[in-house]
Chain A
Amino acid sequence: MIEVDALSVCFGRTEAVKSVSFRVARGESFGLVGESGSGKSTVLRAVSGLNPHWTGRMSIGGELLAPRRSKAFHQRVQMVFQDPYGSLHPRQTVDRLLSEPLLVHHMDNVERRIMRALNEVALPASVRFRYPHQLSGGQRQRVAIARALMPEPHVLLLDEPTSALDVSVQAEVLNLLADLQQARGLTYVLVSHNLAVVAHVCSRIGVMQSGELVELLSADDLRAGRTHHPHTASLRELSIELEEPETARDH
């Protein structure tokens, strides 16, 4: 479904992404992990078309991607942003936010689609005419996910979709994403600095360090600790320490 070959992105003289290649099959979840500044979000923004300054070769569904994307591309590929406080227009109601993609793509049944989308992300119909500032962080992220689903995309790019949320809400949103993938057969590319999040959602994982993809492995290998690159191992150690501070201290 997604093929990325030798993707490089430069900001001025600094090379933020250095020749990254990976493939994602249809219906698969691919995770990109790394510390902040490792270039993982930059990869996602290049794939989504937000950053046109890249070199290399990318294709989605067999269609080669140019720096400028077509309307059809935007219907097939959608993105969910990290910060639900910043990714929703502050002066638009949920209703307006959700109907906008439908208007752009000239889709019919606006009313029914909006109600269905709210239902799908488990939001009550009463939030439809609320403004983003009247919703909680988790609700906002659900609205952002619903908006990404409106044009009925095949690929969803998730840029740290839970890192701005409460721990209690994180699991809810991750489960919602897993359910949606099952129901709609979506292909995910998930970017996160949190190994637990990535391992929860994704079957295959790429580890990034200072712009390079240093290791590709399966979630099972990661859980079992069958890592090859020292950076993967250290990330794994760190996440175990953070998750179980008590046991880590005992060692």
Chain B
Amino acid sequence: MIGVISRDWLLTETPASRAQAAWVRRYRGWLQFRGNGLAMVGLVTVAIMILASLAAPLLAWQDASAQNLAGRLAPPSFAHWFGTDELGRDIYARILYGGRVTLGMVVSVVLLVAPVGLAVGSVAGYLGGLADRLLMRVTDVFLAFPRLVLALAFVAALKPGITSAIIAIALTAWPPYARLARADTLTVRHSDFIAAVRLTGAGSLRIIVRHIMPLCLSSVIVRVTLDMSGIILTAASLGFLGMGAQPPMPEWGTMIASSRAFILDQWWVPTIPGIAIFVASLAFNLLGDGMRDVLDPRQR
């Protein structure tokens, strides 16, 4: 089986089996994505950041929380690539370990938010009537609160920490996804192809999951990648306000917050995590743009 996987096998116009057809489809999408230079930059950057933070114990030769008050606020040098912070901790190590926390938060929020928004939106859009009104009013209630304020209230009610921050951000981030999925659902719900599926005798659940959700998925995925930078910034703001990750734990937003007093004299201390947030946000944005081109059938 491995032997036959060649370029021709992946590009054939007449696949012999379902499995081959699926691979041809994926390979074509990949070729299209690869042709987009900026999107590839985004993908490579995201991949490097995730791999680097996963491999933090291998890449960082210093302990992220080992304090050395004698060498505090040292500028970047060979021993400390990105310098040290106000407690003499190696910023390079803290950035790597902080990536685990920050990127981990982003991924968890997305995994919580996208399925919930997609489900609420497509169910509301397809069923219409009372279900629609009920679900959408709940969405409106969540949408009406300012995002950061609701997140702050939530974290304050629970105890400050990463888990509460994730829940708080997730609670405030899902309504736009529900709106998006509902709008997409409304455009297809009266189409002939959905009527044709109804006439096969399929139930509402099957129609929503197998026929409507795939159509909403592309815009939701694109929205997710574009939203990721927003989620990083919200997580950073919560950290900055002391409601996210708690002190010894390295988190990019918290790192900026704790070092804002040195921004003029020891610029590298807050700047380095700032650059990390900026690069991650930009990379996710570029990735999102590329994904839109591949996933949106109207652009093909």
Contact = CB atoms under 8 A, between A and B. Distances in A.
Interface stretch (B11-19, B59-67, B118-126, B131-139): B11-19
Contact of B199 (A49, A83, A86, A91): A49
Contacts of A129: 14-15, 18, 21, 24
B201 A74 contact: yes
Contact of B201 (A87, A104, A133): A104
B215 interface: yes
A81 interface: yes
Contacts of B192: 81-83, 86-87
Contact of A50 (B13, B191, B195, B214): B195
Counting chain A CB atoms within 10 Å of each CB, the highest count among B18, B193, B195 belongs to: B193
A79 B21 contact: no
A71 B201 contact: yes
B193 A151 contact: no
A14 B200 CA distance: 30
A192 interface: no
Given A87-B193, A87-B196, A105 B201 contact: yes
Interface residues of B, number: 23
B212 to A, nearest CB: 10
Contacts of B211: 89, 92
A126 interface: yes
Interface string A114-143: 000000000001101100010000000000
Contacts of B201: 69-71, 73-75, 101, 104-105, 151
A160 B297 CA distance: 28
Given A74-B199, A91-B297, A104 B206 contact: yes
A141 to B, nearest CB: 12
Nearest to B202: A104
A86 B198 contact: no
A69 B15 CA distance: 38
A188 B262 CA distance: 82
A205 interface: no
A105 B201 CA distance: 8
B197 interface: yes
B266 to A, nearest CB: 54
Interface string B228-258: 0000000000000000000000000000000
Contacts of A78: 199
Contact of A100 (B14, B195, B200, B297): B200
A66 to B, nearest CB: 14
A111 to B, nearest CB: 9
Contact of B215 (A91, A126, A144, A151): A91
A93 interface: yes
A89 B214 CA distance: 11
Contact of A101 (B18, B24, B195, B200): B200
Nearest to B206: A104
Given A90-B297, A100-B202, A104-B206, A144 B18 contact: no
Contacts of A101: 200-201
Given A90-B297, A104-B202, 12 more contacts: A70-B201, A73-B201, A74-B201, A81-B196, A82-B192, A90-B215, A92-B211, A100-B197, A101-B200, A104-B200, A133-B297, A144-B196
17 contacts: A50-B198, A69-B201, A70-B201, A79-B199, A81-B195, A83-B192, A89-B197, A90-B193, A92-B211, A93-B21, A100-B197, A101-B201, A104-B200, A126-B14, A129-B15, A133-B297, A151-B201
Interface of B: 13-15, 18, 21, 24, 191-193, 195-202, 206, 210-211, 214-215, 297
- The list of the 4 closest CB pairs from A to B, nearest first, reads A74-B201, A129-B21, A87-B192, A71-B201
